[in-house]
């Protein structure tokens, strides 16, 4: 009697089963929120927190590291799409858009740095948090605008400013890490490293863009083959970027923008791509919760809240100061400031990466960023959604 053909009791289900349950639970929480007019991403973020070490402990930091590729891929996908929506011609036609972007970033950076420095966090930490605060969550913005089928001046600017501030945020943080390099190992490295990151990302972006435009000649992006080719392209890009030690976020964004620049035709996302992206977004929020533990969250709460307030003041100030001359009215300028609030997975990953390189510094930085992303990941999407509905830029009829 061979026992290997009969199931053991209790059943040995392995690791897949809880993941499946968690995925369904996350999706359902998002759906439930959707019924009450809460953006689905807020629900996903909440479910991620509940499943993570904060409450249930189904996932922990190891899961985050183990599934890093999925998260990187999803963010690359979202940023690629964001890049394609980002028209460089617009920046040349309307310089005030650039001014708005520079204004909101500079103000956010200055206020966040100033606030943290004033309460004595130390210059390094204050600078790092300020660099992360400059960015806005691309995943949340893309998800919320797609959910509302939003379009219009506020939406366009929101996405353009997000593309710019994500890029600047990533570079700023790398510069800072470069400066920390300088502390450790001489000025040449501190100078060369950020330069390498920047130029490398732009070049890699150009290669991805060229490959995409080449592929588009061969296969229709809306077909199944086109979809497979696109996924393969992004996977190859991530593999290459990782091997080159370049940030995986920047190059896809640059690639998207270059594609729109070279070929202004409408690059519409195939339907299935949207579905795959949607599932992946659920997965990364489910996993992002794994990075948040109660102890660290409470440790960072005070400074996190302070940083959130300073950051919000910066975003509002920049949008209200430069919105009107760029062709927005005051109401839409305010909505733009509110819309820029979300901060989420990408910020958390940036802080994680700093911790991998500099464990001590990272351990002080991460709790603050964690507190920020928990609050702005849950409430940010709601703010963005309300703002877009307020300025009537949704195509989905009148929403609650």
Partner 1 sequence: MSLETFASSRALSMGVELELQLVSTHDYDLVASAEDLLRMMARKDVPGDVKPEMTCSMIEVSTGICNDYACVAEELEALRSALTEAARKLNIGICGGGTHAFQDWGERRIFDKPRFHYLSDLYGYLAKQFTVFGQHVHIGCPGPDAALYLLHGMSRYIPHLIALSASSPYVQGKDTGFQSARLNSVFAFPLSGRAPFVETWQDFETYFAKMTDTGVVQSMKDFYWDIRPKPEYGTIEVRVMDTPLTIGRAAAIAAYIQAIARYLMIERPIRLAEDDYLVYTFNRFQACRFGFAGTYVHPETHEHRTVAEEIEASFARIEQHAIELGCDAPLGELLREVREGRNDATWLRERHTNGESLPELVMGQCVRWMGGEPM
* Binding segment toward partner 1, per CB under 8 A, in 109-117, 150-158, 247-255, 372-380: 150-158
Q: How far apart are CA 335 and CA 72, in angstroms?
A: 30
Q: Which helix (H) or strand (E) holds 300?
A: helix 294-322
**Residue 394's beta-bridge partner residues?**
150
Burial classification of residue 9, based on how many CB atoms lie within 10 Å of its CB (0-12 exposed, 13-18 middle, 19 or more buried): exposed
Stretch binding partner 1 (CB under 8 A), from 65-73, 103-111, 258-266, 313-321: 258-266
Determine if 262 is a binding residue for partner 1 (CB under 8 A): no
Near partner 1 by CB under 8 A: residue from 66, 186, 274, 327: 327
- Which residue, among 55, 51, 41, 61, has the nearest Cα to 18 in the 3D structure? 51
User: By CB under 8 A, how many residues form the interface with partner 1?
Assistant: 25
Assess 295 for contact with partner 1 (CB under 8 A). Answer: no
Contact status: 265 vs partner 1 (CB under 8 A): yes
Q: Where does this chain touch partner 1 (CB under 8 A) — which range of 34-42, 84-92, 229-237, 340-348?
A: 84-92
Question: Which residue in the set 249, 303, 308, 328 belongs to the binding site for partner 1 (CB under 8 A)?
Answer: 328
Site for partner 1 in 189-248 (CB under 8 A): none
Outline where DSSP puts E strands in 28-80. Answer: none
Cα separation of 237 and 270, whole Å?
Answer: 20
In whole angstroms, give the CA distance from residue 103 to residue 316.
10
Residue 269's CB: how many other CB atoms inside 10 A?
17
Question: Cα separations (Å) of 240 from 64, 216, 277?
Answer: 21, 21, 21
Q: Scan residues 86-105 and list those touching partner 1 (CB under 8 A).
A: 87, 89-90, 93-94
The contact mask relative to partner 1 for 374-393 (x = CB under 8 A, - = no) is: ------------------xx
Task: Give Cα separations from 153 to 91, 218, 275, 280, 318 (angstroms).
Answer: 14, 34, 26, 28, 16
Q: Is 264 among the residues that bind partner 1 (CB under 8 A)?
A: yes
Nearer to partner 1, 178 or 323 (CB): 323
- Among residues 224, 232, 396, 399, which is the contact residue for partner 1, using CB under 8 A? 396
Q: Rounded distance, CA 249 to CA 315, Å?
A: 22
Output the CA–CA distances (angstroms, integers) from residue 368 to 103, 204, 349, 371, in the order listed. 24, 32, 13, 5
Please, what is the minimum distance in Å from the beta carbon of residue 192 to partner 1?
37
Tell me whether residue 193 or residue 332 sits nearer to partner 1 (CB atom). Answer: 332
Span interacting with partner 1, options 36-44, 225-233, 310-318, 323-331, rule CB under 8 A: 323-331
| Residue 389 neighbours by CB under 8 Å, 6+ apart | 148, 399
Q: By rule CB under 8 A, what string of x and - marks binding of each residue 34-73 to partner 1?
A: ----------------------------------------
Stretch touching partner 1 by CB under 8 A, among 72-80, 81-89, 127-135, 239-247:
81-89
Q: How far is the CB of 96 from partner 1 (least distance, A)?
A: 8
Please give the Cα distance from 167 to 251 (Å, whole number): 9
Check residue 395 for interaction with partner 1 (CB under 8 A): yes
Is the C-alpha dihedral spanning 310, 316, 320, 321 positive or negative? positive
10-38 in b/e form (b: 16+ CB < 10 A) is eeeeeeeeebeebbebbbebbeebeeeeb
Is residue 329 a contact point for partner 1 (CB under 8 A)? yes
311 is a site residue for partner 1 (CB under 8 A): no
149 binds partner 1 (CB under 8 A): yes
Residue among 153, 336, 353 nearest 249 (CA):
353
Exactly one of 54, 71, 78, 85 binds partner 1 (CB under 8 A); which one? 85
Minimum distance from CB of 208 to partner 1 (Å)?
A: 20
Question: What is the three-class DSSP state of 150?
Answer: strand
> Token digits for 21?
């349950």
- From 71-79, 146-154, 231-239, 279-287, give the range in contact with partner 1 by CB under 8 A: 146-154
Tell me which of 119, 183, 268, 279 binds partner 1, using CB under 8 A: 268
Binding site for partner 1 (CB under 8 A): 85, 87, 89-90, 93-94, 149, 151-153, 156, 264-266, 268, 326-329, 332, 392-393, 395-397
């Amino acid at each position: 009697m061979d026992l290997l053909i009969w199931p053991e009791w209790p059943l040995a289900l392995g690791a897949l089963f809880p993941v499946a349950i968690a995925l369904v639970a996350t999706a359902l929480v998002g759906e439930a929120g959707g019924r009450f007019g809460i953006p689905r991403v807020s629900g996903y973020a909440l479910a991620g927190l509940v499943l993570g070490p904060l409450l249930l402990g189904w996932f922990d930091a190891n899961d985050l590291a183990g599934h890093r590729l999925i998260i990187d891929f999803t963010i690359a996908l979202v940023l690629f799409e964001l890049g394609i929506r980002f028209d460089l011609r617009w920046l040349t036609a309307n310089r005030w858009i650039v001014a708005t972007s520079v204004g909101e970033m500079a103000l956010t950076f200055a206020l966040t740095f100033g606030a943290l420095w004033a309460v004595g966090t130390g210059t390094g930490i204050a600078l790092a948090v300020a660099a992360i605060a400059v960015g806005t969550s691309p995943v949340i913005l893309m998800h919320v605008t797609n959910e509302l089928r939003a379009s219009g001046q506020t939406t366009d600017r929101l996405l353009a400013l997000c593309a710019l501030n994500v890029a600047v945020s990533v570079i700023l943080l790398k510069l800072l890490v470069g400066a920390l390099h300088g502390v450790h190992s001489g000025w040449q490295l501190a100078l060369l490293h950020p330069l390498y990151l920047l130029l490398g990302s732009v070049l890699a972006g150009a290669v991805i863009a060229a490959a995409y435009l080449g592929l588009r000649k061969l296969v229709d992006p809306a077909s199944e083959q086109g979809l497979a080719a696109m996924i393969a392209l992004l996977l190859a890009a991530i593999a290459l970027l990782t091997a080159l030690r370049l940030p995986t976020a920047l190059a896809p964004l640059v690639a998207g923008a270059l594609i729109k620049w070279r070929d202004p035709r409408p690059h519409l996302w195939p339907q299935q791509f949207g579905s795959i992206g949607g599932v992946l977004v659920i997965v990364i929020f489910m996993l992002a919760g794994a990075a948040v533990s109660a102890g660290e969250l409470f440790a960072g709460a005070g400074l996190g809240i302070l940083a959130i307030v300073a950051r919000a003041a910066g975003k509002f100030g920049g949008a209200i100061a430069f919105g009107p001359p760029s062709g927005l009215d005051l109401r839409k300028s305010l909505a733009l400031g509110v819309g820029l609030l979300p901060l989420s997975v990408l910020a958390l990953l940036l802080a994680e990466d700093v911790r991998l390189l500099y464990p001590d510094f990272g351990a002080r930085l991460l709790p603050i960023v964690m507190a920020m992303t928990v609050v702005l990941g849950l409430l940010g999407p709601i703010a963005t959604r309300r703002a877009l509905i307020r300025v009537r830029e949704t195509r989905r009829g009148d929403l609650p």
